[in-house]
Structure 1
Amino acid sequence: MRDKSHITDYEPVTRSRQAGLWEDDPAGEEWPRQNRAEAAGDGLTDSHAGARVAGANDQLPPAPARAGSAPNWVLKRGHMLSYLGLFLFTAVLYFRPYELIPALSSFNNMAFVLAVATLLVFFPTQLALEGTLTARPREVNLLLLLCLVALLSIPLAIDPGVAWDMFSGNFIKAILMFIVMVNVVRTPRRLKALILLALAVSLFLSVGALKDYYSGNVIIEGYRVAGRIGGLFDNPNDLALHLATMIPIAVALLLSARGVMGKLTYGVCAALMLAAITVTFSRGGFLGLVAASTFLAWKLGRRNRFVVVVIMLVAAILFLALAPGNFSVRILSIFIPGLDPVGSSGARQQLLIKSVLVALRHPLLGVGMGNFPIVSIHDQVTHNAYTQVASEMGAAALAFYVLLIVSPLRRLREIEDQTYEARRASRFYYLSVGLQASLVGYMVSSFFASVAYLWYVYYLVGYAVCLRRMYEAEHGLLKEPTVSGAEQGAERTPEARGRAEVFPEPKAEGRLVAE
């Protein structure tokens, strides 16, 4: 049971008819691919999912404008058991049923068991399907480099035990499950199911936050609500960050939905998440929401930019005017620290300066993961994801972390540009824009929260990588892996020849190169 007393000091829990997002799509369960589509029970055959075309503008070739056109070749589903494990793990990670259901209170290691079981199924299956432990898009390489730097920093940490606990906690789990996600989410419906799961927990949290606020159950500083689920969402700032990144995705699904009920459902979901952000009174969450909303409106209203600016200004004024309690004063305290009743704004500025100084004094490997509070002010964390990484793991880790977030943006923008003219028939346009907005929202909100080692960004980047891989597969851009001599011999067996039916291969513009 949650302590009902006021909490004043807390830290982050360390065409007329639009094409829906693959709704009612007979080809939605499979994505197009190159040769060997039947091999090994439907595995991906690219070891470089980020392969791209080197053309005049170094971009992917334009997407076909035809709606519903049948692909020339298909990649059948694979990793069904691994995906099921990932889905169940994510559900437990989000909902923490052992907290919500008293009968399950003794099963608090449920997520760990599911993660281990998923990995035990995933790696042998991945080796059998593709002969490699993982596909290697740029984001996977960046995350592996970040993991390497984290490992190197542990022996040199101020307290290696604390650093190891931080590394072996959420961080390594996030890395491993990110790798699983990139490899097993290989059909549109799988991606949509994961996104809907995230929206479901967001809706649950939003309704709970609003109910707690209006019933007076405000336990943070006497006027702020906490999430009804612990772990990722107990802290109001972390809850607001999550909701700010999910609203653009809900809007993208709304715009791509075909039926009225679908549009209404996603619209209500977005509205409830927006309302829930206000009762968290999170300044970082609000700024992330503003950044994500502005980006989303700018992208979707590219032909009427002046109208978009006017609407955004009016919406911002109405939002602040209708927000509950002293929300407007709370936001103004960003610029006028004296308006903050608990003085947290000034304390955050001091922590920012301190974390920057620590990062400058320890540029190679930092002071160790989770070790910043040892050298901090009053044992507090950085309250900034970027200086958290820089001060605890060094400058190289900061570069890898920032590139991990920024890298998907360029690829999503390419998909957006190539599908814009056929956006009402495209299955990729709106979600590519929504994911860009979500990443922008995270980049802003995480400037005010120590969330670099938590799950938020790894799921967002994972969604982006999976969407891009599907787009590249549909347009014949996935590169075949190098086949070893043993594999070539296996291909000559009758069983292998029976699996490796050759489909017509489309001609892509330019030359395929690996990232």
Structure 2
Amino acid sequence: MNSLWQTLTLATIPLHQWRRTSYLYHLVGLLQRWRRSSWLMQWGDELGFCLLALVFGLAPFVPNALIGLLLFACGGYWALLTLSDETESPTIANRNGLTPIHLLILLYWGIATVATAVSPVKMAAFAGWSKLTLYLTAFALMARILRSPRWRSYLITVYLHISLIVSVYGIRQWIFGANALATWVDPESPLAKTTRVYSFLGNPNLLAGYLLPAIALSVAAIFAWRGWMPKLLAGVMAGINTACLVLTFSRGGWIGLVISMFVLFVLLMYWWSIRWPQPWRSLAIPTLLGGLAVFVFLAVMLVDPLRDRVFSIFAGRGDSSNNFRLNVWAAVIEMIRDRPILGIGPGNTAFNKIYPLFQRPRFNALSAYCILLEISVETGFVGLCAFLWLLTVIFNQGWVQLQRLRQLGSREGFWLMAAIATMAGMLGHGLVDTVWYRPEVSTLWWLMVAIIASYYTVPPRPESLAMPAALAS
């Protein structure tokens, strides 16, 4: 059974053999002679970090078109780094960050490419495919650069400081008021006149999705950063980011927050339990579950706006937002039945071309408002299976590397725990909302995947495959 699981999660895949037989990998090193003579490329990782810092530093404040241009630059620069790699280096797999996660992402990209080719709206699907390609090449650059603990910490720090600015402005909107830019609350709800903050992002649900990673990472920073002042700053970040997310009154964001905090605290308990005596190890998880349940119950019961918003989740079609999603989901399921194998092609442009043929009257939608339904309608059940396989490999790799770092007692483990928890929370949020596909949030999703991938270590080769010491010398 263990062998089957390792095969499924590619835990023991011999990447060195794949590199020797892969036609794609033969492109690596084509420009290595140029790189040796280039003065600028001596600062390869530094330049890559600067590009990534621009993406996460500007994302909340600039139009999506500029984010797309920066992502294009990231993808092009990753291609340049890869083509100019030193193929003779025995640590090439470590330097370029190739992992089993990369192989599953390549598989999903290939399925999306085929779905684009057979789409009934090929040009619209090509636009979505282009965006997906930008995200995935940016992930490849992140996974490569973030293998350095220094650049990993620096990039997380950039994002946390930007999210603090975003959260402070959001709390200012709560204090001084802000005009709703759209109908975000049922007009007949007790919360119809409640301010829902949206900061620089223009939408409270989008702001909640943007802040989810910031909360988990700022909690992790309390333990990962050295010195009392940085730890105090991390605590302030965690409090302000959490308060701002709560004030978005985004039910999907709240669901994601509860899931991510639950996963993070469970992982923290596991991390620290290695030093605890046996009775405390057995009681840690039940105590945590009980404490979280009591806290959530008291918060819901004692805070009127919070109670009204939470209870609206269970109002069914009695809440206009719920009714809207139920009608959209019903139409999307019909779309999936029409093209179940490879879907209609990736992207919201293709979705907007096909959805009107299936939509219920008066229920226009920009997407499926659910990650799993969106992937199914875009790339069919083939793409959905590949995506679920990818998630399995990602979380397995995260767990394996967390165990390794736990044994070493490395502070890097806190960033890994935050990334795992954030992904769980973003998936929970994405099950009932559409913000997962917006650049401000999607780039953060792939940052979390890249953080997990950056911890990958090459498993030891079996003795039968290892090069004899005499030949190696």
Which residue identity does 2:295 align to in structure 1?
A
Which residue identity does 2:170 align to in structure 1?
A
Q: In the alignment, is residue 326 of structure 1 matched against residue 266 of structure 2?
A: no
Q: In the alignment, is residue 312 of structure 1 matched against residue 292 of structure 2?
A: yes
Shift of residue 309, structure 1, vs aligned partner: 2.0
Shift of residue 109, structure 1, vs aligned partner: 5.3
Q: In the alignment, is residue 87 of structure 1 matched against residue 67 of structure 2?
A: no
- Cα-to-partner distance string for 1:360-410 (whole Å, 9 max, x where unaligned): 331122123333333333331211111011012211111222333332211
Shift of residue 288, structure 1, vs aligned partner: 0.9
Shift of residue 117, structure 1, vs aligned partner: 4.2
Shift of residue 281, structure 1, vs aligned partner: 1.2
- Cα-to-partner distance string for 1:1-53 (whole Å, 9 max, x where unaligned): xxxxxxxxxxxxxxxxxxxxxxxxxxxxxxxxxxxxxxxxxxxxxxxxx8759
Map of 1:352 onto structure 2? 329
Q: In the alignment, is residue 384 of structure 1 matched against residue 370 of structure 2?
A: yes
- Among residues 116, 128, 134, which one is paired with 1:166 in the alignment? 128
Q: What are structure 1's unaligned runs of at least 5 residues?
A: 1-49, 55-75, 100-107, 479-507
Shift of residue 457, structure 1, vs aligned partner: 5.0
SS of the aligned residue for 2:431 comes to: helix
Q: How does 1:329-478 map to 2 (within 5 A)?
A: 329-337=308-316, 340=319, 343-369=320-346, 370=348, 371-372=350-351, 373-374=355-356, 375-377=358-360, 378-380=363-365, 381-421=367-407, 423=409, 426-451=410-435, 453-455=437-439, 456=441, 459-470=444-455, 472=457, 477=458
SS of the aligned residue for 2:194 comes to: coil
Kept in 2, the 8 Å contact 1:247–1:270? The answer is: yes
Which residue identity does 1:138 align to in structure 2?
P
- Among residues 149, 166, 170, which one is paired with 1:188 in the alignment? 149
Which residue identity does 1:365 align to in structure 2?
L
- Among residues 131, 144, 159, which one is paired with 1:198 in the alignment? 159
- Distance of 1:454 and 1:187 partners within structure 2: 28
- Distance of 2:106 and 2:327 partners within structure 1: 32
- Cα-to-partner distance string for 1:124-170 (whole Å, 9 max, x where unaligned): 332222459965422222222322222322344343333233333x3
Normalized per residue, the structure richer in helix is 2
Shift of residue 236, structure 1, vs aligned partner: 1.7
Shift of residue 437, structure 1, vs aligned partner: 0.8
Map of 1:178 onto structure 2? 139
Map of 1:149 onto structure 2? 111
- Distance of 1:451 and 1:140 partners within structure 2: 24
Which of 1 and 2 has higher RCO (CA within 8 Å, sep 6+)? 1
Map of 2:241 onto structure 1? 273
- Distance of 1:91 and 1:248 partners within structure 2: 18
Q: In the alignment, is residue 137 of structure 1 matched against residue 132 of structure 2?
A: no
- Distance of 1:419 and 1:182 partners within structure 2: 18
Q: Is 134-143 or 411-420 further displaced after alignment? A: 134-143
Map of 1:7 onto structure 2? none
Kept in 2, the 8 Å contact 1:416–1:428? The answer is: no
Q: In the alignment, is residue 237 of structure 1 matched against residue 199 of structure 2?
A: no
Shift of residue 467, structure 1, vs aligned partner: 4.9
- Distance of 1:313 and 1:513 partners within structure 2: 51
Cα distance change, pair 77–314 in 1 and its aligned pair in 2 (3 A): farther
- Distance of 1:196 and 1:354 partners within structure 2: 42
Structural RMSD (CA): 3.1
- Distance of 2:322 and 2:464 partners within structure 1: 51
- Cα-to-partner distance string for 1:474-499 (whole Å, 9 max, x where unaligned): xxx37xxxxxxxxxxxxxxxxxxxxx
- Distance of 1:322 and 1:511 partners within structure 2: 63
Cα distance change, pair 86–434 in 1 and its aligned pair in 2 (3 A): closer
Map of 1:128 onto structure 2? 84
Cα distance change, pair 511–430 in 1 and its aligned pair in 2 (3 A): farther
Kept in 1, the 8 Å contact 2:101–2:453? The answer is: no
Shift of residue 282, structure 1, vs aligned partner: 0.9
Cα distance change, pair 422–172 in 1 and its aligned pair in 2 (3 A): closer
- Distance of 1:148 and 1:296 partners within structure 2: 33
- Cα-to-partner distance string for 1:56-95 (whole Å, 9 max, x where unaligned): xxxxxxxxxxxxxxxxxxxx98533233223223323343
Map of 1:297 onto structure 2? 265
Which residue identity does 1:434 align to in structure 2?
A
SS of the aligned residue for 2:59 comes to: helix
Q: How does 1:244-255 map to 2 (within 5 A)?
A: 244-255=212-223
- Among residues 255, 261, 266, which one is paired with 2:229 in the alignment? 261
Q: How does 1:32-111 map to 2 (within 5 A)?
A: 52=12, 78-96=44-62, 110-111=66-67
- Distance of 1:439 and 1:125 partners within structure 2: 28
Cα distance change, pair 173–119 in 1 and its aligned pair in 2 (3 A): closer
| Percent sequence identity over aligned pairs | 22
Map of 2:25 onto structure 1? none
Q: What are structure 2's unaligned runs of at least 5 residues?
A: 1-9, 15-41, 184-192, 271-280, 467-473
- Cα-to-partner distance string for 1:238-279 (whole Å, 9 max, x where unaligned): 221222233122111112233221221111111111111222
Map of 1:65 onto structure 2? none
Q: Is 245-254 or 156-165 further displaced after alignment? A: 156-165
